[in-house]
Chain A
Amino acid sequence: MSNLYAPLSSLDRLNLGNEPLHDSSFGIFVTDESGLLQYLNEEAARILGFKNANDALEYSLHDFEMNTNCGLSDVFDNIIAGENFKKTEHRCTNRLGHYAVLNISLGPFRDDGGGISGVMGTIWDVTESYQRKVKLEEADYVMSVISQVSEALASAAELNDVLRIILTGVTANQGLGFNRAFLLLINEEENILEGKIAIGPNNSEEAHEIWSNLAGQHRTLLELLDDYRETEKNSGFSTSSRIEDWKIDLNKPNYIAEVFESGSGIIVNDGVETSSESSKIFDYLQTESLAIVPIISKGRKLGIIAADNKITGKKITQTRLDLLQIFANNSAVAIEHSRLYDKVLERAKELEEINCQLANSQEQIIRAEKMSVIGELTSSIAHELRNPLMVIGGFANLMISSGDAGDNAEYLNIILSETQRSESVLHQVLDFSRASRTSSREIKFNALVKEAYDYFQTKTKFRQKGIYLNLSEESAKVWGNPDQLLHVLLQFIHLTAEGMTDECKAKITTHGACNKVECKKVRLTIEFTGSQQARDNAKKIYDKIFGSSEGTQRMSLIVAGETIKYHGGNYGVENPTNEGPILFIELPAMRVSEDD
């Protein structure tokens, strides 16, 4: 402390009492060998906690040590021994208990002979600049956290990823350092806040596991945020697993609703308020102190972030709350963007589906046109064949009945029987080709099935069969040719009824498609509910129909099957264990409009 070394032997020769020094902006003092103050200026007196300099002259530096932690007493002996002491930004309180940050310089005070007669010191009160510096550092820290979080958010678009990054920033030690964080978003329709995501350990065991894992990795916040998906496993199972069940009713008074409505963050402590809803929040979180801040984007309230230090018990300061609020404000924009992104994705998916439907419709139209042409052609060919067949069969019949056939009677009978079989096949083809000429349209599937069922009910032969109809409640629609599809249903019901024995019952059920993306098919099933024997018999019937190439039944099935495929559908027989066979027909469902 050479600058304070004075070659003069007395205070007078130092001229310490001169006016500029006495009123200077830094404190200066001189003690004797025992530490008793010999001189101090007004600033030193103020710093040490005196009204004026004279009041302090009877005090020793050692007296202050009881009430302050200035550290002057500790180093006094060293100074007397000839050492210098310097300390900057030393945080202490003075004898009145006032907080101060000081820059201190101490050195020996020498007499004329160069011997040490006391201690001379200067003290600068740098409290204000220190506070400014701390605030700047804090702002820098917040900026750094936000910058790193923003960088991580830039690479995430989906809402869940965005929320996870935000809470990782809140809970990471390199971030805001809370133990746990919870994010709830508004459900405007129900006026409730719904838990979306939570991060952090719920008990000390989890905390030990998670934090020791993270501590060993020595990652920066950005690195941690870049691996946000990995944080899922560090979320704390018991904290995150229940979060989606957490709902806060905004109509009932509670802390969280208050923060959401007012738009201002608060720190709340358990037991301060008696509202039952608030108690539920503390019960749910099992915490004693909670910081709650709103998430607001362009004046629109999106939700809240709640954070606590349940594990460490560290007090949540106003500064931390302010930081959390700044963080929430910046996160709000990301949440808004990701919600928009999710909406865009949803719309894109809808458009994709519509495009797909459009492509299918175009394909169906082309196929329908082809089918129409084929139908016309088939019809005219079948018609042209039917007349000759009738003539051939008719004359064979005539010859047989006239008794002129002689040895050729057997051959004539064969001609007649084959002719009749061919006529039956033509009957199917003609019916189908006739149906091909009607155009496609929206069809209420249940109504179509009912029409086919009613048709059979008019036939005494089938009315006596135990066939029951069970229509679904949803009014699903299919797009197609109603005549062709009716023909298909008639064929399948007919085949079923033909094969049924007396003890067998069949249930026709429609399974409607709902107005959801995943409900894409309309389904009709025909299942057997009779005795085991009857069901086994039914299985044989279907095996026979689907497995053989026998006669007109096979022809009917080919025509019906092709019609289903043409409409983009499918059919077959399922054989569930311990049940009878189930015949099914599936057709693509049309999306039901809101008007329906």
Chain B
Amino acid sequence: MIRVLVIDDEAHVRRLYDDLLTREGFEVISMACPHKALDIIRTQTPDIIVLDIELEGDSGLKMIEKYKAECPDLPIILNSAYSTYMSDFKTWMAEAYIVKSSDIQPLVEKIRELTGQRRKYEQNRK
């Protein structure tokens, strides 16, 4: 089962993603603190991260670098209420950028696409 790490400081968003993504067949780990997420990456090896940008206390853009340093092949989807961050070069380190919307399908499809690619890549490496 694909393990998705959702990092968002809003509880209702996390709850929504928990329910929706679970229903879509993913295993969801959600949390508000981007720093604690580093431990999860080390210990629970998620397949993909869904990361909000404007987080309480820190910016998701700053955290991408740390996550990539910890696990370079781990795909990250930036998920923000702002579409304008797309032009910020710091977002280019992430594999995808999905603007938050009540229509979750684009996010679901992107998770499947990126995790599928990663699995193929890892299989090829083996």
Which of A5-13, A109-117, A426-434 forms part of the interface with chain B?
A: A426-434
**Looking across the interface, which residue of chain B has its beta carbon closest to that of A391?**
B12
Chain A positions within 8 Å of B100 at CB level: 386-387, 390
Bound Cα distance from A34 to B63, whole angstroms:
144
Partner of A419, one of B10, B13, B19, B102: B102
Bound Cα distance from A434 to B99, whole angstroms:
15
Given contacts A395-B16, A398-B23, A420-B101, 18 further A-B contacts (CB under 8 A): A382-B81, A383-B81, A383-B82, A387-B12, A389-B102, A390-B13, A390-B100, A391-B15, A392-B102, A395-B19, A397-B20, A397-B102, A398-B19, A398-B20, A420-B102, A423-B101, A423-B102, A427-B99
Bound Cα distance from A262 to B73, whole angstroms:
92
Task: Answer whether residue A394 sits at the interface, using C-beta atoms and an 8 A cutoff.
Answer: yes
**Looking across the interface, which residue of chain B has its beta carbon closest to that of A392?**
B102
Asked, given contacts A402-B23, A420-B102, whether A387 binds B84 with beta carbons under 8 Å apart, the answer is no
Chain B positions within 8 Å of A452 at CB level: none
Could you list which residues of chain B lie within 8 angstroms of chain A, going by C-beta atoms?
Answer: 10, 12-13, 15-16, 19-20, 23, 54, 81-84, 99-104
Chain A positions within 8 Å of B84 at CB level: 430-431, 434-435
Chain B positions within 8 Å of A427 at CB level: 83, 99
Task: Answer whether residue A393 sits at the interface, using C-beta atoms and an 8 A cutoff.
Answer: yes
Query: Contact between B16 and A391 (Cβ–Cβ < 8 Å)?
Result: yes
Asked, given contacts A391-B13, A391-B16, A398-B19, whether A434 binds B82 with beta carbons under 8 Å apart, the answer is yes
Partner of B104, one of A389, A392, A397, A435: A397
Query: Contact between A416 and B54 (Cβ–Cβ < 8 Å)?
Result: no
Chain B positions within 8 Å of A420 at CB level: 101-103
Query: Contact between A394 and B54 (Cβ–Cβ < 8 Å)?
Result: no
Task: Answer whether residue A396 sits at the interface, using C-beta atoms and an 8 A cutoff.
Answer: yes
Bound Cα distance from A420 to B23, whole angstroms:
21
Size bracket, chain A contacts: 20 to 34
Query: Contact between A387 and B10 (Cβ–Cβ < 8 Å)?
Result: yes
Asked, given contacts A393-B103, A394-B104, A420-B103, whether A431 binds B13 with beta carbons under 8 Å apart, the answer is no
Could you list which residues of chain A lie within 8 angstroms of chain B, going by C-beta atoms?
Answer: 382-383, 386-398, 401-402, 416, 419-420, 423, 427, 430-431, 434-435
Chain B positions within 8 Å of A393 at CB level: 101-103
Bound Cα distance from A394 to B82, whole angstroms:
17
Query: Contact between A390 and B83 (Cβ–Cβ < 8 Å)?
Result: no
Asked, given contacts A387-B13, A423-B102, whether A394 binds B20 with beta carbons under 8 Å apart, the answer is yes
Bound Cα distance from A27 to B84, whole angstroms:
118
Chain A positions within 8 Å of B104 at CB level: 394, 397
* Candidate in B15, B19, B84, B104 with the most chain A CB atoms within 10 angstroms: B84
Bound Cα distance from A295 to B50, whole angstroms:
87
CB proximity of A284 to chain B, nearest CB, Å: 69
Bound Cα distance from A427 to B81, whole angstroms:
9
Chain A positions within 8 Å of B82 at CB level: 383, 430, 434
**Looking across the interface, which residue of chain A has its beta carbon closest to that of B102?**
A393
Query: Contact between A387 and B81 (Cβ–Cβ < 8 Å)?
Result: yes
**Looking across the interface, which residue of chain A has its beta carbon closest to that of B17?**
A394
Bound Cα distance from A211 to B20, whole angstroms:
103
Query: Contact between B102 and A416 (Cβ–Cβ < 8 Å)?
Result: yes
* Candidate in B10, B20, B100 with the most chain A CB atoms within 10 angstroms: B100
CB proximity of B9 to chain A, nearest CB, Å: 10
Chain A positions within 8 Å of B15 at CB level: 391
Chain A positions within 8 Å of B16 at CB level: 390-391, 394-395, 398
Bound Cα distance from A375 to B81, whole angstroms:
16
Chain B positions within 8 Å of A383 at CB level: 54, 81-82
Partner of B81, one of A390, A398, A401, A416: A390
Enumerate 11 A-B pairs (CB-CB under 8 Å) in ascending A order: A387-B10, A387-B13, A390-B81, A390-B100, A390-B102, A397-B102, A416-B102, A420-B103, A423-B101, A431-B84, A434-B84
**Looking across the interface, which residue of chain B has its beta carbon closest to that of A379?**
B82
Query: Contact between B23 and A396 (Cβ–Cβ < 8 Å)?
Result: no
* Candidate in A382, A391, A393 with the most chain B CB atoms within 10 angstroms: A391
Bound Cα distance from A240 to B81, whole angstroms:
74
Chain B positions within 8 Å of A392 at CB level: 102
Chain B positions within 8 Å of A402 at CB level: 23
Query: Contact between B23 and A386 (Cβ–Cβ < 8 Å)?
Result: no
CB proximity of B19 to chain A, nearest CB, Å: 6
Chain A positions within 8 Å of B83 at CB level: 427, 430-431
Bound Cα distance from A420 to B104, whole angstroms:
12
CB proximity of A257 to chain B, nearest CB, Å: 67
* Candidate in B10, B54, B82, B83 with the most chain A CB atoms within 10 angstroms: B82
**Looking across the interface, which residue of chain B has its beta carbon closest to that of A387?**
B10
CB proximity of A485 to chain B, nearest CB, Å: 16
**Looking across the interface, which residue of chain B has its beta carbon closest to that of A383?**
B81
CB proximity of B76 to chain A, nearest CB, Å: 19
Bound Cα distance from A427 to B82, whole angstroms:
8
Bound Cα distance from A390 to B102, whole angstroms:
4
Query: Contact between B101 and A390 (Cβ–Cβ < 8 Å)?
Result: yes
Bound Cα distance from A183 to B45, whole angstroms:
97
Query: Contact between B102 and A394 (Cβ–Cβ < 8 Å)?
Result: yes
**Looking across the interface, which residue of chain B has its beta carbon closest to that of A402?**
B23
CB proximity of A179 to chain B, nearest CB, Å: 78
**Looking across the interface, which residue of chain B has its beta carbon closest to that of A419?**
B102
Bound Cα distance from A387 to B84, whole angstroms:
16
Query: Contact between B81 and A430 (Cβ–Cβ < 8 Å)?
Result: yes
CB proximity of A590 to chain B, nearest CB, Å: 26
Which 6 interchain pairs have the tightest Cβ spacing? A393-B102, A434-B84, A386-B81, A394-B16, A391-B12, A390-B100
Bound Cα distance from A416 to B82, whole angstroms:
20
**Looking across the interface, which residue of chain A has its beta carbon closest to that of B10?**
A387
Bound Cα distance from A292 to B83, whole angstroms:
79
**Looking across the interface, which residue of chain B has its beta carbon closest to that of A380?**
B54
Query: Contact between A396 and B102 (Cβ–Cβ < 8 Å)?
Result: yes
CB proximity of A294 to chain B, nearest CB, Å: 70
Chain A positions within 8 Å of B12 at CB level: 387-388, 391
Chain A positions within 8 Å of B10 at CB level: 387, 391
Chain B positions within 8 Å of A394 at CB level: 16, 20, 102, 104
Chain A positions within 8 Å of B13 at CB level: 387, 390-391
Chain B positions within 8 Å of A386 at CB level: 81, 100
Query: Contact between B103 and A397 (Cβ–Cβ < 8 Å)?
Result: yes
* Candidate in B15, B19, B81, B99 with the most chain A CB atoms within 10 angstroms: B81
Bound Cα distance from A238 to B84, whole angstroms:
70
CB proximity of A552 to chain B, nearest CB, Å: 14
CB proximity of A431 to chain B, nearest CB, Å: 6
Chain B positions within 8 Å of A391 at CB level: 10, 12-13, 15-16
Chain B positions within 8 Å of A396 at CB level: 102
* Candidate in B23, B54, B104 with the most chain A CB atoms within 10 angstroms: B104
